Amino acid sequence: MPILGPNQYGKAENRVVRITRDGATHHIKDLNVSVSLSGDMDEVHLSGSNANVLPTDTTKNTVYAFAKEYGIDSAEQFGIHLARHFVTSQPAIHRARIRVEQYAWDRIEHGGEGAHSFVRKGQETRLAQITYDGSSWEIVSGLKDLTVMNSTDSEFWGFVKDKYTTLPEAHDRILATEVSGRWRFNWTDDEQPAPDWEASYEQVKKHLLQAFAETYSLSLQQTLYQMGARIIDNREEIDEVRFSLPNKHHFLVDLAPFGLKNDTADGAVYFAADRPYGLIEATVLRDGREAKIPADLTNL
């Protein structure tokens, strides 16, 4: 008889918005929360018995109830409350994984009264994944859809040439990518003091942007490593970083047929291509630590 292998279940993409009021000043947290549970789940697969199954609908209700009961200090802290609850309250559930997408909002500046008007920032989506097995925690935070560009200080040459190579060497090109990154914290135990999740996120984002901007790049791999190394060097709460960086190609358009010289000196014109694209993926680790973030970054 075929064997049941690894499995998990839960309610995905619970969209929860919490508004707190400090007089006329409102604050907003806007999350998309996904719950995955695993444990003694053989019977539901083999015979259809739901005797061990907490319904996914209940996990949804729990997300909304906990947003009220505990508030949402941070995506990470909210996920910790949820994961702990499922594992400690349900004997059949041995492991809970909570994934969160978070959307940022800015205030709308205006001349009226109150401070309860917001415009969605619309830049990157913040990510958090909280996993708990009843004894130790794994917290991986991240972001996706952060598009960046250096319009110079990027080269690409000295590469291998085989019979299928036609690419010319480049000594001044655009380097652009849409950053997808994940970073794993070394906090694993309730006895340790927890990081300041909000401050950590802001600092990691600042460091990766600055490393991208400040690296004179001979390859996107080199830039990726610098971005990861900057985080490891500056944020002691983080042991591992993984990036997936599509090389968003910008090709200098050949305008010679129209009698135009298209060089970088005075206003270069580029074609921004869609597909195909280079894809560079790598992990950067604190010395002595083990890589645990999976090779393929998913949308948490």
Catalytic site residue from 81, 249, 250, 283:
249
Backbone angles phi, psi at 39, to 5 degrees: 165, -135
Asked if 11 is an active-site residue, the reply is yes
Measured from the CB of residue 174, what is the shortest distance to its own copies in angstroms? Answer: 7
Residue closer to its own copies, measured from CB, 189 or 289:
289
Measured from the CB of residue 191, what is the shortest distance to its own copies in angstroms? Answer: 27
293, 281 contact by CB (below 8 A): no
Residue closer to its own copies, measured from CB, 181 or 228:
228
The tokens for 235 are 């944020």
Long-range CB pairs of 211-219, under 8 A, 24+ apart, other chains included: 212/148, 212/150, 212/179, 213/148, 213/150, 215/153, 216/153, 216/154, 217/150, 217/153, 217/154, 217/155, 217/175, 218/155, 218/156, 218/157, 219/156
Alpha carbon 109 to chain centroid distance? Answer: 29
Asked if 56 is an active-site residue, the reply is yes
217, 150 contact by CB (below 8 A): yes
Measured from the CB of residue 101, what is the shortest distance to its own copies in angstroms? Answer: 12
3-state class of 296 per DSSP? coil
Phi-psi group of 164: left, alpha or beta (phi > 0 → left; psi -120 to 50 → alpha; rest → beta): alpha
Residue closer to its own copies, measured from CB, 50 or 189:
50
Residue closer to its own copies, measured from CB, 193 or 275:
275
Residue closer to its own copies, measured from CB, 169 or 193:
169
Encoded amino acid at 264, one letter: T
The tokens for 55 are 């319904």
3-state class of 44 per DSSP? helix
Measured from the CB of residue 269, what is the shortest distance to its own copies in angstroms? Answer: 4
Measured from the CB of residue 40, what is the shortest distance to its own copies in angstroms? Answer: 11
Which sequence positions are flagged as catalytic?
11, 56, 249
